[in-house]
């Protein structure tokens, strides 16, 4: 991978290397990283990964897959980062936020998807579309909560802590390019077929707008086994879970991802599956505008499932997510998207 980003890695960030938070209690040493600097490092390194030039140099086209109701096929891409390259990263010497070098470093197998969507409201006559406003609502705002809403296999999106208010105040006093910035820790729990245990992915999620026409969402794995407010990572779910599913033992996995959504309002091009070049011309009212949605991810489900077997299902899984999002956002009211509703109108019980 051409980007040297110690933070955007599959190895979890240690609990003691997270910024201060009141819920950490006595596990809150004074030498924790500065909140604003930490958040900006996560966002900057994540954005660098999916920046067009770097993304196109790093990832190679793998396949194309349908994802109804989207009319356009989703491009799947992939790359492998050898452990030898990861060993050379500036783990503790970086000018940004240093982190200890992980004790065990293995090859990282990354997959990505890229899809294009007309900038039309999901309730319009054009099937399989969504407006940029709907993408912002669904993927930038309450990112993890909405991922739970449109992903059938997720049975819990457990909020552990968030820094949103403090971060907003610090950003207002800085010259950062980012706006509408959030950062939180969630435990994302997925059902797997019997006899496999459910998987729990503890993640730190940072989201922000880069401009009025672009936003990113960065997800990095974290180790919160020592965090007092953790639920699944500490086993508290076994006795405090609200139902039988939540009380099941989980296998903790590792998940890393970066998403970038851009609305094109000036002339640019992309090439489709058949090699045809499509132009995005500047247009008004969304009529001639198009949205590019990129997601890059690496994951390890933990447990005894062979890595090769895990990798087989990733291309189809990440392509399917496009259709799941488009179906879900079609069912969210316009009032909710515009911020006039309360909570998530389509949240599952």
Would you kindly state where each structural domain of the chain is located, as residue ranges?
Answer: 15-337
pLDDT recorded at residue 2:
52
| pLDDT-based confidence at residue 267 (cuts at 50, 70, 90) | low
Please determine, for residue 281, whether its predicted confidence score (pLDDT) is greater than 60.
no
| pLDDT-based confidence at residue 345 (cuts at 50, 70, 90) | very low
Query: How far is it, in rounded angstroms, from Cα 159 to Cα 28?
Result: 19
Please determine, for residue 283, whether its predicted confidence score (pLDDT) is greater than 50.
no
| pLDDT-based confidence at residue 273 (cuts at 50, 70, 90) | low
Instruction: Compare 8 and 287 and report the one with higher pLDDT.
Output: 8
> Which tens digit of pLDDT belongs to each residue from 34-66?
999 999 999 999 999 999 999 999 999 999 999
- Choose among 228, 226, 232: nearest CA to 199: 232
pTM of the model: 0.91
User: What DSSP state is assigned to residue 12?
Assistant: P
CA distances from 93 to 37, 40, 87, 89 (A): 15, 17, 13, 9
Q: Name residues whose C-beta falls within 8 Å of residue 315's C-beta, 6 or more positions apart in sequence.
A: 62, 63, 65, 76, 78, 111
- Choose among 238, 200, 271: nearest CA to 52: 271
> Which tens digit of pLDDT belongs to each residue from 82-124?
999 999 998 887 667 888 999 999 999 999 999 999 999 999 8
Please determine, for residue 266, whether its predicted confidence score (pLDDT) is greater than 70.
no
Q: Which two tokens stand for residue 139?
A: 């993927």
pLDDT recorded at residue 93:
74
Classified as helix, coil or strand, 114 is strand
Classified as helix, coil or strand, 323 is helix
Query: How far is it, in rounded angstroms, from Cα 109 to Cα 78?
Result: 8
Query: How far is it, in rounded angstroms, from Cα 308 to Cα 291?
Result: 33
Classified as helix, coil or strand, 336 is helix
Among 4-8, 197-201, 300-304, the range with the most confident prediction by mean pLDDT is 197-201
Chain length of the chain: 349
Query: How far is it, in rounded angstroms, from Cα 344 to Cα 212?
Result: 23
| pLDDT-based confidence at residue 284 (cuts at 50, 70, 90) | very low
The H-assigned helical ranges of 35-109 are 35-50, 52-58, 83-87
Q: Which of 56-70, 201-215, 281-295 has the lowest mean pLDDT?
A: 281-295
- Choose among 270, 286, 204: nearest CA to 17: 204
Architecture of the domain spanning 15-337:
2-Layer Sandwich (3.30)
Please determine, for residue 197, whether its predicted confidence score (pLDDT) is greater than 50.
yes
- CB of 307 closer than 8 Å to CB of 109: yes
Please determine, for residue 26, whether its predicted confidence score (pLDDT) is greater than 50.
yes
Among 14-28, 143-157, 274-288, the range with the most confident prediction by mean pLDDT is 143-157
Average pLDDT over residues 206-213: 97
Average pLDDT, the chain: 89
Is residue 145 classed exposed, middle or buried when 0-12, 13-18 and 19+ CB atoms within 10 A define those classes?
middle
């Amino acid at each position: 991978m051409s980007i040297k980003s110690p933070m955007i890695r599959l190895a979890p960030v240690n609990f003691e290397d997270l910024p201060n938070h009141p819920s950490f209690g006595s596990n809150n040493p004074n030498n924790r990283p500065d909140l604003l600097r930490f958040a900006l490092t996560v966002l900057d390194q994540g954005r660098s990964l999916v920046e067009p030039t770097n993304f196109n140099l790093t990832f190679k086209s793998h396949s194309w897959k349908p994802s109804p109701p989207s009319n356009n096929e989703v491009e799947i891409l992939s790359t492998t980062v050898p452990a030898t390259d990861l060993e050379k990263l500036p783990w503790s010497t970086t000018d940004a936020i240093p982190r200890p070098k992980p004790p065990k470093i293995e090859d990282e197998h990354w997959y990505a998807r890229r899809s294009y969507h007309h900038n039309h409201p999901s309730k319009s006559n054009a099937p399989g579309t969504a407006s940029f406003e709907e993408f912002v609502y669904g993927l930038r705002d309450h990112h993890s909560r909405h991922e739970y809403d449109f992903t059938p296999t997720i049975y819990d999106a457990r909020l552990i802590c968030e820094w949103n208010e403090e971060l907003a105040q610090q950003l207002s006093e800085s010259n950062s390019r980012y706006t509408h910035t959030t950062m939180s820790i969630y435990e994302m729990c997925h059902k797997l077929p019997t006899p496999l245990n459910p998987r729990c992915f503890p993640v730190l999620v940072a989201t922000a707008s880069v401009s009025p026409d672009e936003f990113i969402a960065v997800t990095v794995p974290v180790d919160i086994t020592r965090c007092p407010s953790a639920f699944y990572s500490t086993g508290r779910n076994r006795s405090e879970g609200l139902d039988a599913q939540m009380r099941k033992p989980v296998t903790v996995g590792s998940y890393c991802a970066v998403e970038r959504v851009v609305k094109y309002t000036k002339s640019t091009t992309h090439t489709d599956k058949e090699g045809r070049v499509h132009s995005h011309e500047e247009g008004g009212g969304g009529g001639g505008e198009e949205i590019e949605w990129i997601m890059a991810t690496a994951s390890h489900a933990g447990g005894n499932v062979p890595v090769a077997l895990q990798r087989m299902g990733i291309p189809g899984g990440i392509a399917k997510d496009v259709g799941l999002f488009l179906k879900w956002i079609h069912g969210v009211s316009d009032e909710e998207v515009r911020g006039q509703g309360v909570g998530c109108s389509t949240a599952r019980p």
